Structure 1
Amino acid sequence: MRPDTPVQWHASIDSTNEEARRLAQAGHYGPIWIAAREQTAGRGRLGRQWSSPTGNLYCTALFLEPGGIQVATRFPFAAGLAIADICAQIAPDAPVKLKWPNDVRVDGAKLCGILVEAGAGPGGASWVAAGMGTNVQSAPEAVGQSATCLKDMVPGAPLDADLVMEAIRPAFAKRIAQARDDFPGLLNDWLTFAEGLGETVRIGKDVSAKVGRFVGLESDGGLRLELPNGAVEIIRAGDVELVREVG
Structure 2
Amino acid sequence: MKDPGWPEGYARRVLDEVDSTNAEGLRLAKSLAGPTWIFAHRQVAGRGRRGRAWTDPAGNFAASLVLKPAEPPGQAALRSFVAALALHDALSTLVPGAELSLKWPNDVLLSGGKLAGILLEGSGSGRVMDHLVIGIGVNLAEAPPGAEGAVPPVSLRQGTGAEVAPETLLAHLAHAYAARETVFGARGFGPLREAWLARAARLGEEVIARTMRGETRGLFETVDAEGKLVLKTEGGRVAIAAADVFFERGT
Q: TM-score, normalising length from structure 1?
A: 0.90
How far is 1:123 from its partner?
Answer: 11
In structure 1, the partner of 2:23 is 18
| CA displacement, residues 23-60 of structure 1 (integer Å, 9 cap, x when unaligned) | 12x44353211001111110000000000122111000
Question: CA 1:205–1:21 in structure 2 vs 1: closer, same or farther (change >3 Å)?
Answer: closer
In structure 2, the partner of 1:69 is 73
2:164 counterpart SS class: coil
In structure 2, the partner of 1:223 is 229
Which structure has more strand as a fraction of its residues?
2
1:97 counterpart SS class: strand
1:186 aligns with 2:192: yes
Question: CA 1:2–1:91 in structure 2 vs 1: closer, same or farther (change >3 Å)?
Answer: closer
| CA displacement, residues 70-110 of structure 1 (integer Å, 9 cap, x when unaligned) | 32111000111111101211222122111100000112211
Distance in 2, matches of 1:28 and 1:245, equals 44
Distance in 2, matches of 1:85 and 1:3, equals 18
Q: Percent identity?
A: 31
How far is 1:208 from its partner?
Answer: 2.1
1:246 counterpart SS class: coil
Q: How does 1:1-247 map to 2 (within 5 A)?
A: 2-3=7-8, 5-24=10-29, 26-28=30-32, 30-120=34-124, 124=128, 126-144=130-148, 145-155=151-161, 157-182=162-187, 183-204=189-210, 208-229=214-235, 231-237=236-242, 240-246=243-249
Question: CA 1:142–1:178 in structure 2 vs 1: closer, same or farther (change >3 Å)?
Answer: farther
1:194 counterpart SS class: coil
How far is 1:141 from its partner?
Answer: 2.3
1:12 counterpart SS class: strand
Unaligned runs of 5+ in 2: 1-5
User: Aligned-pair RMSD on alpha carbons?
Assistant: 2.3
Number of aligned residues: 242
Distance in 2, matches of 1:123 and 1:199, equals 36
User: Which residue identity is paired with 2:193?
Assistant: L
Which stretch of structure 1 is more off in the superposition, 193-202 or 145-154? 145-154
Unaligned runs of 5+ in 1: none
Distance in 1, matches of 2:154 and 2:8, equals 27
How far is 1:4 from its partner?
Answer: 6.0
